[in-house]
Amino acid sequence: MSTREATMWEERKELKNILSFIISELRPKGKILTPFNIISAPVMLLGFFLIVYRLVNGLHVVANVSQEFPWGIFIGFNVMVGVAFAGGAYVLTFVVYILGNEKYHSIIRATVLNGFLAYVFYAGAIFLDLERWWNITNPILGNKFGVNSVLFLIAWHFLLYMIVEFIEFSPVIAEWLGLKKLRSFLNSLTIGAVIIGITLSTLHQSGLGALFMMAKGKIHPLWYSEFIPVLFFVSSIFAGLSMVIFESTISHRVFADQINFRDHAAYNEIVIGLSKGCVVAMFTYFFAQLLIFVHGKHWPLINTPMGYWYLTEILGLVALPGFVYLYGIRKRNLMMLRIAAVLTMLGIVINRLNLSIIAFKWWIPWSERYIPSWMEIVITLTIIFVQIWVFRWVVNRMPVLRKPPAWAESEY
Amino acid sequence: MEGFTYVDIFATKGIEYILVISALVLFYPLWRLVNTPGGAVYELARSAATTIGDWFHMPEEKIYYHLGHTWAMPEGGEVVKVGIDDFAQKLVGKIDAIKFPEVGSDMVQGERAWSLVIGDKVIDMLSPVDGKVVAVNREISTSPEKINIDPYGAAWLVKVQVPRLSANLRNLLSGKLVRKWMDGVRESLMARMNYNLGQVLQDGGVLVEGIAKNLDREKWDEIVREYFLIT
């Protein structure tokens, strides 16, 4: 056998090894009948069926959206909320790779993975909202670019950002497969990917807000303003950080065996640090809302049912969690910080739903307005569950929370 | 000019200015609040930050430290005394027994030399020098608590004959380098303390219990091994 043949044979053998490794990793690990699986599996099964049903027969068969009320929970919840919650990835990559703060390094992989999956599944839910979903490639491949549409920008941003997030995460996949050379190459791309990722994020977080600017007159004036893009951007900072606190709290319970004691100890400091970021961003957001309120001369609107709802959101789900965060930081009380994170996330959900659904054509009685169908809710839950399943699958196999293999540690 | 009015454009400007200024003014106390922990915890942390500097007695003269918290002190000629430093004894607390190397056996710098027995755990420590063991301190095997009292004096562990003494000592830390190294060690210890600070500072608690057990009751030995560079 010549040398060339021998190398080829070696390479083929290595490829075969990797393939059989991947196949072996596909098998489930750990207990199958956990409470979470028992609840999520039937929902997902039904959801998959409904998704196929919807793709074949059109959006109207599952969703209550109409020409009058075009935005349902696929957009208002999945896309709008999912993308805001994914904001933690760009904030933390900025802190770790650009500002060089190593304190948060141990949670960066889980955050990037979560961000990537959020874009694939939640931003990906935009696919389900397209009546002619097979045209989804139009803004990318041409045919009709639709360059006048904000959605053109968002489509490109989503696509590019998913690629960038994947590149940021890819060294972990190479470590999992034991591909040393590839990992070292992918690792060298990280800083570039981070810079592009942050740029894209700031633009499309606000770009999502810009979508609502076209609905002037349809959105209640307490929520509508020319500054929605700015508000979306600022709120994505504390939405994303709160999501990181929430997600890492659960991860530290569920995947406790994968984290070494050192990370457990440093974790408290990380949560406090993230909370500080939240307080500052929420303070900025609150004052921006106040300015917009005063500038728009909205005083007379306060003493109306929508006004009370507005106050609930701004005082109850922005100012209050802000204070809870502050209190938790001062007392170094992690439980308080977790409560604040959940309240903040709830505030983001309510804010995005207000803009897209609740304060949208608020003058029309509820009996004639959009209320999600049970099928939309099942599909939405399916998307959330699938994301959690994939996250769990990856964390259980790749070095996301646990230390990378010894050969990769020097560059970690 | 009749009919000309600024009111519509500027109606809200005054309040907006006040809002912006108050936001900026309020940001200062907010920043202070966010960056200084409140009440009792703050006091504790501050007192700890000042006292922790004096926590560990690490003489900078005549003693050479290995990064695994063992030390070597030249006795004249090729013989050096070897022991564990003050940080190590405070980290582990009460030591129940020591597994010494045999007299006449070889020790290699940076490799396992002796072990501390604490409860049901056995923790290895690294040798600071290369050489042959010429004596072990039998007094310590009968009363290991002496390590907690006088780690650099009466509680030396072994005497080693080191043929390449000066080369060996160059690999160890002494003088001002000791302080720089311990600054890092202290910082990493501070970062870990968090909420267990109270327990650590209890009178006598440190010496009896050891800092590591206060940090993590279950996995304290892992913390110790990390500081002792045993992996």
Q: A297 and B11 in contact by Cβ < 8 A?
A: yes
Chain B residues bordering chain A (beta-carbon distance below 8 Å): 11-12, 15-16, 19-20, 23, 26-27, 30-31, 33-39, 41, 191-192, 194-195, 215-216, 219, 222-223, 226
Q: Please check whether residue A80 is in contact with residue A208, taking contact to mean a CB–CB distance below 8 angstroms.
A: yes
What total of structural domains would you count in chain A?
Answer: 1
pLDDT score, position B202:
37
Q: What pLDDT does residue A155 have?
A: 87
Compare CB distances from B19 to A283, A287, A326 and report the shortest one's residue.
A287
CB B225 within 8 A of CB B112: no
Q: CA-to-CA distance for A90 and A57, rounded, in angstroms?
A: 38
Q: Which residues pair with B72 in a beta bridge?
A: B64, B82
**Model confidence over B47-64: pLDDT tens digits?**
555 555 566 788 888 889
Q: Do A265 and B216 touch (CB under 8 A)?
A: yes
**What is the side-by-side order of every strand in the sheet holding B112-118?**
B97-99, B112-118, B121-126
- Phi/psi class of residue A46: alpha, beta or left (left: φ > 0; alpha: ψ in -120 to 50)? alpha
Domain that holds residue A392: 35-55+62-221+228-266+371-411
Residue B106 lies inside a defined structural domain of this protein: yes
Which pLDDT does position B196 carry in this prediction? 43
State residue B47's pLDDT score: 52
Cβ distance A291 to B20 less than 8 Å, yes or no, reads yes
| Residue A23 domain flag | no
Which of B26, B41, B219 faces A332 most closely, judged by CB atoms? B41
Verify whether the Cβ–Cβ distance A332 to B194 is below 8 Å: yes
Q: Which of B16, B30, B222 sits opposite A261 (nearest CB)?
A: B222
A240: amino acid identity, one letter:
G
3-class secondary-structure state, position B104:
coil
pLDDT of B203 above 50? no
* Residue A162 CA neighbour count, 13 Å, CB half: 14
**pLDDT given at position B1:** 46
Give the per-residue pLDDT at A386.
94
Between chains, do A295 and B16 touch, taking CB under 8 Å as contact?
Answer: yes
CA Rg value for chain A? 23
| Tens place of pLDDT per residue across chain A (412 aa) | 577 787 888 888 888 888 888 888 888 777 888 888 999 999 999 999 999 999 999 888 888 888 888 888 988 999 999 999 999 999 999 999 999 888 888 889 999 999 999 999 988 888 888 888 888 888 888 777 888 888 888 888 899 999 999 999 999 999 998 888 899 999 999 999 999 999 999 988 988 888 888 888 899 999 999 899 999 999 999 999 999 999 988 888 888 778 765 666 678 788 989 999 999 999 999 999 999 999 888 888 999 999 999 999 999 999 999 999 999 988 888 889 999 999 999 999 999 999 999 999 899 888 888 989 999 999 999 999 999 999 999 998 899 988 888 887 665 5
B65-95 pLDDT, tens per residue? 999 999 999 988 889 999 999 888 888 888 8
DSSP string, A324-369: HHHHHHHHT-HHHHHHHHHHHHHHHHHHHHIIIIITBTTTS-GGGS
Please give the residue of chain A at the shortest CA–CA distance from B15. A294
Residues of chain A neighbouring B27 (CB-CB closer than 8 A):
283
Determine if the pTM surpasses 0.80.
Answer: no
Q: What is residue B65's three-state secondary structure?
A: strand
Distance from CA of B102 to the nearest CA of A (A): 34
Residues in chain B with CB shorter than 8 Å from the CB of A331 are 37-39, 41
Please report whether residue B56 resides in a domain: yes
Question: Is A330 in Cβ contact with B38 (below 8 Å)?
Answer: yes
Give the gyration radius of chain B's Cα atoms: 27
Q: Could you tell me if residue A382 is inside a domain?
A: yes
Q: Are B39 and A331 in contact (CB under 8 A)?
A: yes
Handedness of CA A207, A211, A217, A219 (dihedral sign): negative
Asked if A280 and B192 come within 8 Å (Cβ–Cβ), the reply is no
- Tens of pLDDT, residues B1-40: 455 544 455 566 788 888 889 999 999 989 888 887 665 5
Count how many domains chain B has.
1
CA distance A345 to A392: 21
Looking at residue A265, its pLDDT comes to: 63
Domain extent for B149: 52-227
Nearest Cα residue in chain B from A274: B34
Give the Cα separation of B146 and B139 in Å (integer).
Answer: 9
Q: Which of B7, B31, B34, B197 to mutate to test the interface with A (most CBs of A within 10 A)?
A: B34
Does B198 have pLDDT greater than 50? no
Query: pLDDT band at B208, cuts 50/70/90?
Result: very low
Nearest CA distance, A289 vs chain B (angstrom):
11
Phi, psi of B121 (to 5 degrees): -110, 145
List of chain B residues whose C-beta atoms are within 8 Å of the C-beta of residue A329: 33-34, 37
Average the pLDDT over B170-177 and give the result: 88
Any domain includes A363: no
Strands (E), A278-380: none
Q: What is the percent of chain B where pLDDT is above 70?
A: 78
pLDDT confidence of residue A258: 80
A249 domain residue, yes or no:
yes
Note whether residue B107 is domain-resident.
yes
Tell me the CATH number at B138: 2.40.50.100
**Structure token digits, residue A342:** 């959940």
Between chains, do A283 and B30 touch, taking CB under 8 Å as contact? yes
CA distance A227 to chain B (A): 15
pLDDT of B9: 54
The answer as to whether A347 is a domain residue is no
B43 pLDDT above the threshold of 70: no
Give the model's pLDDT for residue A231: 95
User: How far is residue B220 from each of residues A204, A255, A262, B88, B214, measured CA to CA in Å?
Assistant: 47, 20, 11, 13, 8
More confident residue, A260 or B227: B227
Query: Which residues in chain A touch residue B194, judged by CB atoms under 8 angstroms apart?
Result: 265, 268-269, 332
In chain A, the residue whose alpha carbon lies closest to the alpha carbon of B9 is A295
Residue A85 lies in a domain: yes
State the alpha helices, DSSP H only, in B108-175.
138-142, 146-149, 165-170
Give the gap in angstroms from C-alpha A205 to the nearest C-alpha of chain B: 24
Q: How far is B219 from chain A (nearest CA, A)?
A: 7
Residue with tokens 């769990």, as numbered in its chain: A392
Helices (H), chain B: 7-10, 13-35, 39-51, 86-92, 138-142, 146-149, 165-170, 176-193, 197-201, 205-209, 211-215, 220-227
* Residue B84 belongs to some domain of the structure: yes
Name the closest residue on chain B to residue A326, using Cα atoms. B34
Looking at residue A360, what DSSP letter applies? B
What one-letter code names the amino acid at B29?
P
Percent of chain B exceeding pLDDT 90 equals 25
Is residue B34 a contact partner of residue A280, using CB atoms and an 8 Å limit?
Answer: yes
- Chain B residue nearest residue A298, CA to CA: B12
The reply to whether residue A265 touches residue B37, judged by beta carbons under 8 angstroms, is no
Domain-embedded: residue B2: no
How far is C-alpha A229 from the geometric centre of its chain's CA atoms?
A: 18
* Sign of torsion over alpha carbons A114, A116, A117, A121: positive
B90 within some domain = yes
Number of CB pairs, chain A paired with chain B, less than 8 A apart:
64
A interface toward B at CB cutoff 8 Å? 260-262, 265-266, 268-269, 276, 279-280, 283, 287, 290-291, 294-295, 297, 326, 329-332
Q: Is the Cβ pair A269, B191 closer than 8 Å? A: yes
Q: Which residues of A touch B219 (CB under 8 A)?
A: 261
DSSP state of B102: P
- Return all residues near A183 (Cβ < 8 A) that are at least 6 apart: A171, A174, A175, A408, A411
Q: Is residue B188 part of a domain?
A: yes
Using the beta-carbon criterion (under 8 Å), do A261 and B19 form an inter-chain contact? no
Helix (H, G, I), strand (E, B) or coil at B202: coil
CB spacing of B23 vs A287 below 8 angstroms = yes
In a domain? residue B15: no
Residue numbers in A near B34 (CB within 8 A): 276, 279-280, 326, 329
